[in-house]
Amino acid sequence: MSASKRGLIQPDLRFLFSKPAHFIALGFGSGLPRKAPGTFGTLAALPLYALMLWLGLGVNAILAVCAVTFLIGWWAAHVTGHDLGVHDHGGIVIDEIVAMWLVLLLVPTPGAGSMPLAEIALWWGIAFAAFRLFDIWKPWPIRFFDARVPGGFGVMLDDILAAVYAGLLVWLLQAAAPLV
């Protein structure tokens, strides 16, 4: 680990692989970049979600994966935050991954009789942008919970709330799309 200009510990590969909790919390390495780790963590969610679709997981199975990953992420974020000395270090991105999966449940996926792949990719991009918007902006009550709920649960909770906002926006855009 190295210290950044702001005095924050910057996790490195040695830290990533030192404990299973670190590997999970740091999004399997996607949270290691110094700049925009949350964006990289959110990007990491996309191929993982595509893998779940390729494996044939349906909505209920994906929700179960999200629930289990949320619980594991809660623990991993707590351990990693403690070890880094910062409860919600930017490199902890398992919360972004789970939240992005939840938003992706609302967008079209490739399959029999579905829309063209380019249109599906557009909706995935909209979902990505909507989630990043609300994750960074943190409108009420996200900012309230982010500031007041400590530990791994707080790390996970604010991103789930951002996913709710993003999901609502995506749903509204989909409802308006036929009108455009």
Domain ranges of the chain: 2-179
CB atoms within 10 A of CB 130: 23
Strand partners, 2: 10
CB atoms within 10 A of CB 95: 32
Structure tokens at 81: 């935050």
Q: What percent of the chain has pLDDT over 70?
A: 94
For residue 5, the model assigns a pLDDT of: 41
Determine if the peptide bond prior to 141 is cis (ω within 30°). yes
Residue 179: band (very low, low, confident or very high) from pLDDT cuts 50, 70, 90: low
For residue 9, the model assigns a pLDDT of: 82
The reported pTM is: 0.93
Q: How many residues does the chain have?
A: 180
For residue 131, the model assigns a pLDDT of: 99
Segment 171-175 shows an average pLDDT of: 94
42-69 confidence digits (pLDDT tens): 999 999 999 999 999 999 999 999 999 9
Name the nearest CA neighbour of 131 among 174, 73, 157, 170. 170
Structure tokens at 102: 């939840």
Question: What is the amino acid identity at position 5?
Answer: K
Q: Report d(CA 112, CA 83) in Å as an integer.
A: 47
